Structure 1
Amino acid sequence: METTQAPTATLEPYQQIRLGDKPFGRQICLAAVGSEALLPLLQLWSQLRQDYPKLVLQLLLFAADKDSRAESLKVLQSKLPLGQTTEATASAEHQTSEVISLLAELQAGKPLAIPGCQRFVLDGGRLTLDLYLEFDATLLKELPGVNHNGWIDNWLWLAESLPSQAEVWQMARLAKDYASLLCLPSKRSALASIMVNSGLNIVDFNGPAALLLTQQTELEPIAKAERLALRRQSNARLAPWPLYRESTLAADESIAIIGAGVAGSQLALSLAERHQPSQVFCSEENAGQSASGNRQGALYPLLTPETSELNTLFQQGFLFSRRRITALVAAGFDIAHDFCGVLHTGFDERSRTRLNKIAEGQNWHPDILRRVNNFEATELAGLDIKEDGLFYPLGGWVCPRALCRAAIQYAVESTYCDFQRRTHISEISREGSHWWLSATDGRRFGPFKKLVLASGASLTALPQTSALPASPFRGQVSEVATQGGLRALKTVLCAKGYLTPAWEGIHCLGASYVKDPEQLAYSDVEQRENLQKIAMSYPDADWHQGLVMGQGARVGVRMVTRDHFPMLGQAPDVEALMQVYQQHQHTPESARYWQQTPAPVHPGLYVLGGLGSRGLSTGPLAADILASELCHQPLPVGSTLLQRLNPNRMWMRKLIKGKAL
């Protein structure tokens, strides 16, 4: 392929050519391979951020310099000034204060050697960095595109190795038709021979500004046809799992969000960071007063012994939640929390066996999970535990309602969120191409092209979503004044029940778990049961004996899915699905029909819910995934995991296999 020398690029021609008369700032997406690309990417952002206040920059960094994630992470960390290496220290002397600040923020976000994408939202939400510690065709195939277009404005190749032919074609699939591949002159000839017919122009990388270069030439017919075929193939795999079905909104159009718990508040925050307006409808006076209203909630991942998408989601989500909390606190919001760790111990033969299987099932990163003996457990807890267990060093607790309120306040202060208090939406209706919302007090709101139901326990209260496979579970959390030996507790304890360290002299202890509750009043029985769970968890300890409980407690309802995955994405039209099912069931031909035909959905209606009892660990990331879809941006998860998150999964998993519902 012919190579060209990159001129010094400026934003002005980029804006005129690619964005026309739209305000510069929707987004630019750049992808890079090799840890050496980190600094140029951040240097580019430091040059742009002041002059273009509406700009949102999305970066995909495949820092896969070694054969293992752990070794690749070491290479990446050696590039950070905080790495304390001679190379890093010398590099830091040549960086601007903005770049140093971004590197510090990245380091504080705890990049770990774990599978999949680690999303870092930096610089007040204006810069998103998706970090991968691997790079291969299989991974790239997992990344969905949008319709028949690419994401990536330009690729930067600074890895020592060269891509395979399969990787090249997936890079081309994800690239916009005008994208180039920038590289060092020493790699130009070798890359040019591999990139033949891919449509990616090889351009010398001569500095960060070159990453904004755009080419004007049309794709050659071979490249255009191959890209189109790959995109159609990728999109076809997602036919049963609706994604990017709706067009993006204009800059002045709002997305309606019903609910202001963890799901709704985090979605408003993620949309505000993308400069996408939203209108949030909260039935209470403040955000986080329903199921998210507990004083303290434990923050740690739900893990399984098997290699699973659930492990991937919870590790990524748990770390993302920590970053969210840290960033909001750094921005000045008061969110009570303590990353004091979580100690998980068994309480009978079955639970101990399960914990052993989890510990032995995977090669867990020690910052995610490590085994401890009973002596270590006692030292970590500050109380006599007398049980071996699992310790989650980065876990802890956070005040959920404070997190919700901080997220809403951030979104409102950004001017991209209108927060409607004491507005209970009892009905939604589709009129033409828009949604209208009706409140119990007679007010109507609309029209909205896009509406998200993030209404927690009320998720299935509307006819459009009544069939969603999520069940309500009542949970009473006891609030116990610190007393006796409890004062020494240093970490969150989790066994048959859980117990938090004291905050403002109060511990949280719980929780009951009652399916399809008939009432939500305080229960003396559940209060006693919560204390009994602690006694059963640590039968040989005396620090919990004689505790005075009182009637301090809080009752909430959580929506739980059978597979423990949250639900996010476009709302399935179950009535339409069932009608089509009458003609397409129980045959190989029907299976092919469901595999190839876009699943029926409610236009413009989305779901974000089913977070269960671990919503603090998955809710913020789930909200950010949905915000990325709503704004047509790259997702931090692959197609396989998206299928597990889709609200229609319980039906479609059977239908695409030709099974009966």
Structure 2
Amino acid sequence: MSSSHQISSANLHFNAHGTPIADDFDDVYFSNDDGQAESQYVFIAGNKLTKRWRANSCYSFTVAETGFGTGLNFLACWQAFDDYLSQNLATGSKQLHFISFEKFPITTNDLQDAHQRFANLSHYASQLRNAYPQQLSAGCHRMSFAGGRVVLDLWLGDVNDIMPTLSHHNQGNVDAWFLDGFAPSKNPQMWQQSLFDQMFRLSRPHATVATFTAAGLVRRGLAEAGFEVSKQAGYGNKRDMTIATKTALPQSTQYRTDSSTEASSVAIIGGGIAACLTAWQLAQRGKQITLLCADEQLAAAASGNRQGALYPLLTPKPSELSQFYWQGFRQALPFYRQLSELAPSIRHQWCGLLHLSSNEALAKKHQEIASIGYPTTLVELVSAQQASALSGVTLPHEALYYPDGAWFCPGDICQFIGQWLTEHGHDVRLNFTVKALTQADDNWQLTGPETLSAAQVVVAAGIHSGQFEQTRHLPISAVRGQVSHVPATEASQQLKTVLCHTGYLTPMTTDDSASHCLGATFSREDKSEDLHDDDHQTNLQRLAQAMPDSELVNDWQTTPTEGRVGFRAVLRDHFPVVGPVPAWQQIEGMAQTSVLASMPLQQGLFVISGLGARGICSAPLAAAVVTDYICGEAQCLPQPILDAINPARFVWRRLKKNKPLFDQ
């Protein structure tokens, strides 16, 4: 198993006071007397949060914490933020973004025991435990609460390993630090100079730090990193605690203002799942959305299939590609669960997914994936007998089993979001084809049936995302896929899971059509939008090869007459393009650079495309990445993965090799 995946849960016991004690550090997680009061005094009051929330000119305020522990600091901060919001101030922060790092996460059961001490936080604590990751795997676990008003990014792993991989927007992301963790004498591995240096790098001007300790190495480390450091009276019996501030550049204002976060209007070009989920997430961050769909209805193109499978793309060796899709899957699960609870109209089924080892290549690949040591809550290799029991039909092969796999109707998701946007004062335009984009002053002009204006633009138009002058150098290709709709039979109705092989078969739809989706073909050359009998036969033959002599195959000997054709947007390296659009003309005159993130950008223009056949899995994460860029917030992906999906990566590679930057 890759060391990047290995996460060990905390070893702890509870003392006579009911306080959790970390066995590996011989230290308490919070004060025996009143842990919540200590948290409020040291971190919330120490950072003057309530005052700063009132004075903050930006929509979101970011707190970062070293050492999540029991989540007590997060819960106390959430409660304090709710108390502040209850004042109904016209200005000030409207969203709390809380980032925390934890090397040894506590299990859900231990969390529940620890939370018993804080009855007045039970409303918040129960929500945290419900959202808490079941897979204690390395990386970022993003949780959203209170309709997106509170966002928690829980990074699992060593903080000193994670922080250097984090990107930051302009002059930083973090407004206040809770410098927590076990005492420096108990946990010297964390309290390193590199930690303080990374904190300074990630901090915005005027960011503050508060910590319970007054140890000299902490004060000296913060000062050496660049913070202005002072002491104040500590909590309870502690004589002193430490506070610090990142001094601002002379032109900086007293409280954070950032032009990119102040621009409230965003136009999104597209009507598929990537466009709609981006609109949804940006609207929840306080942006005014205009969604521009060229078709008569949302999800009329590649997102229009009846059933799309939800599962991650894992590779035989740990790679950035599998990390991206695993992170996407982790983010998609709670996102779709919340969305489907809000909208019962979204057809879906949390049924699990089996990827059959139906040929030698797949069998070898699946064995290698299983050997990596992913959590069994994510994926495990099961025998043919186990796969048959899970699926409800007889299967001749072993399989990779994804217990949290599912299928969703992407069109239902798009329709719900479109209706929600309209009901909440946003603008959804159908039959609106954007012909051109023009930058004028600080806004973009979008020319179509009429000319619209927006401060920022997201191009999420699938295969058409490269049609503009500003996006034409993105190497997006169109791949035709045909799905067959086969009628449910007595045998097929027994199918309980999604089946993948060299194609896929879904369980029966949950509507009146009583059919299954069988697919899908893959053709770069065929540009026809018509259904082909040959492609229907291809879908049937692939199923027959995976399940010879199966009743399912025997029942579907007749060529289907129904189906659907869609064109997927893909890129040659299998990653999507997600992020700011490069400024191509400025790149032409550049010298070589080893830093992809330093490439010049077109201000206020972003793209999401190339999600291929896995948009259901990757669209929530892609939407979150672009939303974080637009809002100037901390990303939930490390820099190497952001680089892997960066729209400038292709021209950057050519620049490094002194090759012509663009295809003629």
Q: Report TM bin, short chain.
A: 0.7 to 0.9
1:44 has 2:54 as partner: no
Give the Cα separation in 2 of the matches to 1:544 and 1:393.
Answer: 25
The answer on whether the counterparts of 1:282 and 1:420 sit within 8 Å (CA) in structure 2 is yes
1:457 has 2:469 as partner: no
Q: CA deviation at 1:336?
A: 1.4
Map of 1:438 onto structure 2: 447
Q: CA deviation at 1:11?
A: 5.6
Give the Cα separation in 1 of the matches to 2:153 and 2:228.
Answer: 22
Aligned CA distance change for structure 1 residues 381 and 206 (closer, same or farther; 3 Å)? farther
Map of 1:602 onto structure 2: 602
Give the Cα separation in 2 of the matches to 1:468 and 1:5.
Answer: 49
Aligned CA distance change for structure 1 residues 473 and 39 (closer, same or farther; 3 Å)? same
Name the aligned partner's letter for residue 336 of structure 1.
R
Aligned CA distance change for structure 1 residues 429 and 339 (closer, same or farther; 3 Å)? same
- State which of 118, 126, 131 in structure 2 corresponds to 1:106: 131
1:379 has 2:417 as partner: no
Name the aligned partner's letter for residue 222 of structure 2.
M
Name the aligned partner's letter for residue 526 of structure 2.
P
1:13 has 2:51 as partner: yes
Q: CA deviation at 1:142?
A: 1.1
Map of 2:152 onto structure 1: 129
1:267 has 2:293 as partner: no
Give the Cα separation in 2 of the matches to 1:89 and 1:435.
Answer: 49
- State which of 479, 485, 492 in structure 1 corresponds to 2:498: 492
Map of 2:592 onto structure 1: 591
Map of 2:139 onto structure 1: 116
1:77 has 2:108 as partner: yes
Aligned CA distance change for structure 1 residues 406 and 176 (closer, same or farther; 3 Å)? same
- State which of 455, 465, 474 in structure 2 corresponds to 1:468: 474
Map of 2:3 onto structure 1: none
Aligned CA distance change for structure 1 residues 513 and 626 (closer, same or farther; 3 Å)? same
Out of 547-556 and 320-329, give the one that drifted further.
547-556
Q: CA deviation at 1:549?
A: 5.0
Q: CA deviation at 1:51?
A: 4.0
Map of 1:195 onto structure 2: 222
Map of 1:507 onto structure 2: 516
Name the aligned partner's letter for residue 514 of structure 1.
S
Give the Cα separation in 2 of the matches to 1:203 and 1:273.
Answer: 38
With normalisation by structure 1, the TM-score equals 0.83
Map of 1:390 onto structure 2: 400
The answer on whether the counterparts of 2:604 and 2:630 sit within 8 Å (CA) in structure 1 is no
1:482 has 2:488 as partner: yes
What do residues 155-204 of structure 1 show as CA deviations (whole Å, max 9, x unaligned)?
Answer: 2313352421111211222223444433335x756633543433264667
Out of 35-44 and 296-305, give the one that drifted further.
35-44
- State which of 551, 557, 560 in structure 1 corresponds to 2:567: 557
Aligned CA distance change for structure 1 residues 166 and 204 (closer, same or farther; 3 Å)? farther
How do residues 96-175 of structure 1 correspond to structure 2 at under 5 angstroms? 96-107=121-132, 110-159=133-182, 161-162=187-188, 163-175=191-203
Map of 1:250 onto structure 2: 262
Identity of aligned residues (%): 28
SS of the residue corresponding to residue 315 of structure 2 reads coil
Q: CA deviation at 1:523?
A: 1.5
Give the Cα separation in 2 of the matches to 1:599 and 1:38.
Answer: 38
The answer on whether the counterparts of 1:486 and 1:544 sit within 8 Å (CA) in structure 2 is no
- Unmatched runs of 5 consecutive residues or more in structure 1: 65-71, 82-86, 208-212, 229-245, 585-589
Map of 2:27 onto structure 1: none
SS of the residue corresponding to residue 324 of structure 1 reads helix
Give the Cα separation in 1 of the matches to 2:182 and 2:290.
Answer: 44
Question: Whose relative contact order is higher, 1 or 2, with alpha carbons under 8 Å and at least 6 apart?
Answer: 1
The answer on whether the counterparts of 2:481 and 2:568 sit within 8 Å (CA) in structure 1 is yes
Q: CA deviation at 1:637?
A: 0.9
Give the Cα separation in 2 of the matches to 1:204 and 1:566.
Answer: 51
Name the aligned partner's letter for residue 377 of structure 1.
A
How do residues 28-427 of structure 1 correspond to structure 2 at under 5 angstroms? 28-36=61-69, 38-49=71-82, 51-52=84-85, 55-64=94-103, 72-73=104-105, 75-81=106-112, 87-88=113-114, 90-91=116-117, 94-107=119-132, 110-159=133-182, 161-162=187-188, 163-184=191-212, 188=215, 191-192=218-219, 194-198=221-225, 199=227, 201=229, 218=247, 247-250=259-262, 253-360=264-371, 362-415=372-425, 417-427=426-436
Q: CA deviation at 1:622?
A: 0.7
Give the Cα separation in 2 of the matches to 1:6 and 1:541.
Answer: 63
The answer on whether the counterparts of 1:37 and 1:156 sit within 8 Å (CA) in structure 2 is no
The answer on whether the counterparts of 2:576 and 2:608 sit within 8 Å (CA) in structure 1 is yes
Map of 2:541 onto structure 1: 532
Map of 1:234 onto structure 2: none
The answer on whether the counterparts of 2:438 and 2:444 sit within 8 Å (CA) in structure 1 is yes
The answer on whether the counterparts of 2:533 and 2:559 sit within 8 Å (CA) in structure 1 is no
Q: CA deviation at 1:322?
A: 1.5
Name the aligned partner's letter for residue 337 of structure 1.
H
Map of 2:255 onto structure 1: none
SS of the residue corresponding to residue 490 of structure 1 reads coil
Give the Cα separation in 2 of the matches to 1:215 and 1:432.
Answer: 39
Q: CA deviation at 1:104?
A: 4.0
